[in-house]
Structure 1
Amino acid sequence: MRSSPTLAALFMTSACMTTPPPPPAPPELAALEAAAATQKEGSIAYPLTRRTYLVDPQFGVQVADPYRWLENDVRNDPEVRSWVTAQNEVTDKFLETLPLRETFKARMTQLYDYERFGIPRKKGGHYFYTRNDGLQNQSVLYVRDKVDGEGRVLIDPNGWSADGATALAEWTPSDNGKLLAYAIQDGGTDWRIVRVLDVATGKLLEDELKWLKFGGGVEWAKDGSGFYYSRFPEPEAGQTFQSLNKNQSVYYHKLGTPQVEDRLVYATPDHPDYGHYPTISEDGRWLVVTSSIGTDDRYEVTLIDLRKPGAKPRTLIKGFTNNYSYVGNKDTTFYFQTNDGAPRMKVVAMDVAQPNPVARTVIAEDTATLDGVSMIGGRLVTSYLVDAKTEVRVHGLGGKLVRKIELPGIGTASGFGGEQDDEETFFAFTSFNRPTTIYRYDVGAGQASAWASPKVAFNPDDFTVEQRFYASKDGTKVPMFIVRKKGTSGPAPTMLHGYGGFNVSSLPAFSPTRLAWVEQGGIFALANLRGGGEYGKAWHDAGRLQNKQNVFDDFIAAGEYLKAQGFTGPKQLAITGGSNGGLLVGAVVNQRPDLFAAASPAVGVMDMLRFDRFTAGRYWVDDYGYPNKEADFRALYAYSPYHNIRGGTEYPAVLVTTADTDDRVVPGHSFKYAAALQAAEDVGGQPHLIRIETRAGHGSGKPTSKIIEEAADVYAFLGHFTGLEK
């Protein structure tokens, strides 16, 4: 799936052709302010956005960055805060004119109002799970003593803040089920605060841990005396939400002691870019530390023998070359999921008692992509992606296929956690027209039964889900799911969504907001672009670094296919995407503004030359490349949404969305992009607006009320410009 040399050469030619010209000589500040004050498109007067004459010479290119001041933290910069307020006022005024806004809000509220359960975790005979009664801003953690017993509330985060934006994040029961460590996420930040609860009494212990982030959950010691976790150093004052995240280290916390006394277990001070994540083996003997250096699934694996006090760490897998994900172990036989010699993944085992363990294949690479493995009830349960749809298989520990688990249809299954001697496990199943149902699976009998089934305010059979394959620019076949209400025939207003990056697979899942769009007569399409993980390593590699243009070509081809096949008309196609998908939307709007009627990039990475300077951005070089390396710079500069806005071209209607507290993709990306788009000359009469949420972060932990309000605004905007109102 890699691009051919010819395409790579064409891409580099494109990079040269799309290099923005040097900025003009700096005019007087008063003239700049006067020009900004009169920025108009149609009937919308945009707020004043101060421009500066700031140019960075990079590899012979004069890179203009007139809105860099918008990178400043809104919490600390009054000018940025005033800009945010002014932009929201203009956006709100426009959104208030849209007839579908209240229609969508009312229907989305109805569709969200159903009982939702999380996958249970069994510890010490207790079953821990989350439940939302429908419109609660945050899901509540429950515990029950029998699989079919009554649950009692253990943690209800809905009273933690007035705006509902303080969430219960990760949580982990101790092995005996008597204690529970849980993380608090405030206002959407990636930072976590960990507390400990007595399950029987509900009483909080005094323990409190800070500066955890990115999988910094806890791993309980088998005796319940404490737990292992990973964290970052405390940031410098004023840099909590913007500074780069480095020097993640593994610690042991003994219950009842302050965090400053926690014991350092594993760190790599000579390699501050390494991240480290601990796992305790089920037998309690081994601490397995998985280390990474970016977003790629390329790991080192280190073992620490906990039965030997003071034992030195032993690096089992070296070199950050392949994915070696720890599955479990039987004594000294360790099982891993790996792409070593298997781009679509396989399962291997090795005896760590040997001085130089050699991996042997247990489950060979398949034509489908291996997406996950767990050890349950003396079995290996494997989850595969078959053209972006889940298939689950059960194997013996020697690898022999025992059976496939029958699933309810085209959709996505997840879960299958538990312990090796458990005879039961739980999984969730969802699809575009089917809300998540939780199933209990009897491993020995091979029988699945519904454990929690939602009751919803619609009939799933009123909707159709189909999968099509279309040809991208270079002939690559790309799958796409298409969802519509029975009786809806094209051309119809269509929302096309994509992501295409970081080995993340875009899979079928239920969304009350998207269903509201389809109910209204629209079509929803999800394209499985290169850069994702749907077809393994080759599919990912074909959509990153110098091949990133393939992702944009795939998305553009999806839009062209939907029009050519009569699903949607010339002015009926809207596009959406978030985070890396926000970058996708921004890039293709620049490259093919004629193809789309409306676009909404959410929390996007919009400045591809400075993404690596903030919070988690340094990890993303695995997919994007290094802005300070010339070849990468030229590729990045060619598609960077902020740098490739062109005057004299008619742009579609654009509604940018972000949050002032996003510390994953800092909001300065969206601020700068929106300011540049508003300032561009002769780009048509459509509105180019930005909606900036407060205390919402990158999306995780967002309260239900904010989800509904934002979706109603975005869908009403997209519907207005694609004819959904008619």
Structure 2
Amino acid sequence: MGSLCALEHEPLQYPIARRDESVVDNYHGVTVPDPYRWLEDPDSEEVKEFVQKQVKVTETVLNKCGTREKLRDNLTKLFDYPRYDVPFRKGDKYFYFHNSGLQPQRLLYMQDSLDGVPDVLLDPNGLSKDGTVSLSRCAVSQDAKYLAYGLSSSGSDWMNIKVMRIKDRMIEPDTLSWVKVSGISWTHDSKGFFYSRYPPPIEGKKSAAASKISAGTETNANLDHQLYYHFLGSDQSEDILCWRDPDNPKHTFIGSVTEDGQYVLLYIYENCDPVNKIYYCNLFDLPNGLQGQKGRDLLPFVKLVDNFDASYQYIANDNTEFTFLTNKDAQKYSLIRLGLEEPSIRIEVLQEAVNDVLESVVAVNGNQIIVTYLSDVKHVLQLRDLRTGTLLHHLPIDIGTVYNVSARRKDESLFIGFTSFLTPGVIYHCNLESGIPELKIFRETSVSTFDRTEFQVNQVFIPSKDGIMIPMFIVGGKKIVLDGSHPCLLYAYGGFSVSLTPSFNISRIALMKHLGIVYCLANIRGGGEYGEAWHKAGQLENKQSCFEDFISAAKYLVSAGYTQPKKLCIEGGSNGGILIGACINQAILGLQNLAVLKRKKSSTG
């Protein structure tokens, strides 16, 4: 993409990173130098200075880019379109998020019926001058009387939980701090909710830790995660400690109340792998309820699954009979049912598919489920029987992504959120009362300056270095000529069992529309596109497969005539940043080795 700016042939003066040869680790007898570890301290003055030098280098490029301001203007116009999230129901009311266009943060709306007048329940944009305070979590009580919500600042993972009385928008005095890696789950009596947090820092270090929380730049590990229950109107110091495990300080805990309100499930995670333990506590069996737990030991959780060998996600329960979505002995996931009295006896409701990944299951209309499969990185939607798994109906959707299915088991209708590379967003409303599901458009997002007929989407399957076929989406204008003339942007992630499915991205649209770029999304190993086997094939000792897949995708784009090396840009975020760095370094190393071989050949005549 260098041809888009004026500095294509001008050398850049990158800042020199100091090497500290004294930093060497010994792993099982193997010494591994880490000369740039000093860069891991974001609060170091040397690191701050180095980052500023990098910023200046970037600015020297961007300031001479002739298309920058025009692109900024076009992006602003393109971004100015209304966006709606899928509605959800609590009590007899409907709730949904909405952004009118250029608002920094989306607003939470409420209405009494689908035809009712929407009313703003919470607007985070007024909570900070620069719009960087965001609504990171929210949970409405079962009777729709209270809203518990988490606020984060400047993109931090930390949040403070507040409570609003919905009827008059009164903010309650409740404030919960040190919250991270947490859900918010109300008990059905609306007296309070479960949440997770870390212990506050010891006195003397509190102010320093608090400053880091606001910035989200801490690099030290958070330890001793804990599950609490908070009663409305009480101070956080009075919250009930429901679970902790000092013998495993790195474990994290999430509490979730079942849809019937009888149980609280405890999800225990060891790391980012798709595996968890799951315990349960019968809230109805507590002698004096949760109020009686004050001053007592931890909640009497019963161990249902007590090893980290698979993932278990609650779907529904009828008294002690539970249905879970799991990858236990099913790398593409299956649906099982088990009883709390004899959990070793497991009934397979929906067995693992041969090719497709069972991604999500939502209970609705009593004993039915909406099932979402991922088939070659595209979603398939079905209505099935909760008891037997029998297929009842296919729900017709376009090629793309189902990003949300919103329903309660007692409801006869549901909402489905859909998007694709060329579909900004469609929310379908589906009523199951007649027995024959029919998807009706409830809301459809439109972008006034975007015409989907100007673009095309293709999916190709390319062989990696070891012959494994890797899916890749190629999105661009209708008049793509395979002569190597197009600038290409190649993106991938490849980690943590995360699947990258088709989605609408207005920034990509702007690049394609105004700069003729072809956008390519490679579904490399390490993700979850083909289940847990695909994930494991790109992690730990298999991590090199991710890089080989990505390099193969880049080579294909050149050999097929989409682009040429000097017009190919690669991008990845978070885990994808590791991917990009590794591929750059391996490419440089390959060039260096090639240069050495050429010199050897020339010297030997």
Q: Aligned match of 1:150 in 101, 117, 122?
A: 117
Over the residues paired in the alignment, what is the CA RMSD in angstroms?
A: 2.0
Aligned to 1:657: none
What are the ranges of 5 or more consecutive residues in structure 1 without an aligned counterpart? 1-40, 594-643, 651-726
Q: Aligned match of 2:34 in 34, 44, 65?
A: 65
Shift of 1:330: 1.6
Please list the CA deviations of residues 601-641 of structure 1 after superposition, one character each: whole Å capped at 9, or x if unmatched: xxxxxxxxxxxxxxxxxxxxxxxxxxxxxxxxxxxxxxxxx
In structure 2, C-alpha distance between the alignment counterparts of 1:95 and 1:242, rounded to whole Å: 30
Aligned to 1:673: none
Cα 1:225–1:476 shift into 2, 3 Å: same
Verify the 8 A CA contact 2:404 2:418 in the aligned structure 1: no
Aligned: 1:454 with 2:415 = no
Aligned: 1:484 with 2:471 = no
In structure 1, C-alpha distance between the alignment counterparts of 2:66 and 2:179, rounded to whole Å: 44
Aligned to 1:302: 279
Aligned: 1:56 with 2:47 = no
Aligned: 1:347 with 2:335 = yes
Please list the CA deviations of residues 537-568 of structure 1 after superposition, one character each: whole Å capped at 9, or x if unmatched: 11111111111111111101111111111111
Amino acid at match of 2:371: T
In structure 2, C-alpha distance between the alignment counterparts of 1:147 and 1:140, rounded to whole Å: 18
Q: Aligned match of 1:286 in 242, 263, 266?
A: 263
Cα 1:592–1:43 shift into 2, 3 Å: closer
Shift of 1:439: 1.6
In structure 1, C-alpha distance between the alignment counterparts of 2:393 and 2:87, rounded to whole Å: 23
Aligned to 1:11: none
Amino acid at match of 1:94: V
Amino acid at match of 1:521: G
Aligned to 2:396: 406
Shift of 1:495: 0.6
Q: Which structure ranks higher in relative contact order (CA pairs < 8 Å, sequence separation ≥ 6)?
A: 1
Q: Aligned match of 1:388 in 372, 377, 390?
A: 377
Please, which moves more after superposition, 486-495 or 256-265? 486-495
Q: Aligned match of 2:360 in 372, 380, 404?
A: 372
In structure 2, C-alpha distance between the alignment counterparts of 1:213 and 1:443, rounded to whole Å: 38
Aligned to 2:198: 232
Cα 1:57–1:73 shift into 2, 3 Å: closer
Q: Aligned match of 1:162 in 129, 134, 147?
A: 129
Aligned to 1:271: 248
In structure 2, C-alpha distance between the alignment counterparts of 1:551 and 1:51, rounded to whole Å: 28
Aligned: 1:512 with 2:506 = yes
In structure 1, C-alpha distance between the alignment counterparts of 2:174 and 2:101, rounded to whole Å: 32
TM-score between both structures, scaled by the size of structure 1: 0.74
Aligned to 1:221: 187
Please list the CA deviations of residues 377-403 of structure 1 after superposition, one character each: whole Å capped at 9, or x if unmatched: 121111100000000111112211111
Verify the 8 A CA contact 1:173 1:179 in the aligned structure 2: yes
Shift of 1:252: 0.5
Please, which moves more after superposition, 449-458 or 251-260? 449-458
In structure 2, C-alpha distance between the alignment counterparts of 1:208 and 1:355, rounded to whole Å: 41
Report the 3-state secondary structure (helix = DSSP H, G, I; strand = E; otherwise coil) of the residue aligned with 1:337: strand
Cα 1:153–1:56 shift into 2, 3 Å: same
Aligned: 1:466 with 2:458 = yes
Verify the 8 A CA contact 1:468 1:480 in the aligned structure 2: yes
Amino acid at match of 1:493: P
Q: Aligned match of 2:427 in 411, 415, 438?
A: 438
Report the 3-state secondary structure (helix = DSSP H, G, I; strand = E; otherwise coil) of the residue aligned with 1:86: helix
In structure 1, C-alpha distance between the alignment counterparts of 2:349 and 2:324, rounded to whole Å: 10
In structure 2, C-alpha distance between the alignment counterparts of 1:471 and 1:98, rounded to whole Å: 36
Q: How does 1:568-579 map to 2 (within 5 A)?
A: 568-579=563-574
In structure 2, C-alpha distance between the alignment counterparts of 1:415 and 1:190, rounded to whole Å: 23
Verify the 8 A CA contact 1:590 1:646 in the aligned structure 2: no
Report the 3-state secondary structure (helix = DSSP H, G, I; strand = E; otherwise coil) of the residue aligned with 2:572: strand
Q: Aligned match of 1:558 in 540, 553, 556?
A: 553
The share of aligned pairs that are identical, in percent, is 37
Q: How does 1:84-123 map to 2 (within 5 A)?
A: 84-123=51-90
Verify the 8 A CA contact 1:217 1:230 in the aligned structure 2: yes
Please list the CA deviations of residues 229-266 of structure 1 after superposition, one character each: whole Å capped at 9, or x if unmatched: 11112245235422212221111100001111100112
Please list the CA deviations of residues 170-219 of structure 1 after superposition, one character each: whole Å capped at 9, or x if unmatched: 111110111101110101110011101111211100011112222x1210
Aligned to 1:426: 415
Q: Aligned match of 2:518 in 505, 520, 523?
A: 523
Shift of 1:510: 0.3
In structure 2, C-alpha distance between the alignment counterparts of 1:157 and 1:190, rounded to whole Å: 17
Report the 3-state secondary structure (helix = DSSP H, G, I; strand = E; otherwise coil) of the residue aligned with 2:38: helix
- How many aligned residue pairs are there? 555
Q: How does 1:668-687 map to 2 (within 5 A)?
A: none
In structure 2, C-alpha distance between the alignment counterparts of 1:46 and 1:324, rounded to whole Å: 48
Shift of 1:50: 4.8
Aligned to 1:693: none
Cα 1:345–1:49 shift into 2, 3 Å: closer
In structure 2, C-alpha distance between the alignment counterparts of 1:525 and 1:161, rounded to whole Å: 37
Q: How does 1:37-48 map to 2 (within 5 A)?
A: 43-47=11-15
Amino acid at match of 2:186: W
Shift of 1:312: 2.0
In structure 1, C-alpha distance between the alignment counterparts of 2:167 and 2:192, rounded to whole Å: 18
Report the 3-state secondary structure (helix = DSSP H, G, I; strand = E; otherwise coil) of the residue aligned with 1:250: strand
TM-score between both structures, scaled by the size of structure 2: 0.88
Please list the CA deviations of residues 342-369 of structure 1 after superposition, one character each: whole Å capped at 9, or x if unmatched: 11111000111x2444110001111210
Aligned to 1:362: 349
Amino acid at match of 2:478: K
Verify the 8 A CA contact 1:157 1:166 in the aligned structure 2: yes
Amino acid at match of 2:583: V
Verify the 8 A CA contact 2:95 2:109 in the aligned structure 1: yes
Cα 1:431–1:537 shift into 2, 3 Å: same
Report the 3-state secondary structure (helix = DSSP H, G, I; strand = E; otherwise coil) of the residue aligned with 2:55: helix
Shift of 1:648: 8.9
Shift of 1:327: 1.1
Shift of 1:61: 5.2
Verify the 8 A CA contact 1:211 1:234 in the aligned structure 2: yes
Verify the 8 A CA contact 1:376 1:417 in the aligned structure 2: no
Please list the CA deviations of residues 385-435 of structure 1 after superposition, one character each: whole Å capped at 9, or x if unmatched: 00000001111122111111111x210002223221111111211001110
Please list the CA deviations of residues 116-161 of structure 1 after superposition, one character each: whole Å capped at 9, or x if unmatched: 0111111011111111111111111111111132211111111222
Amino acid at match of 2:572: G
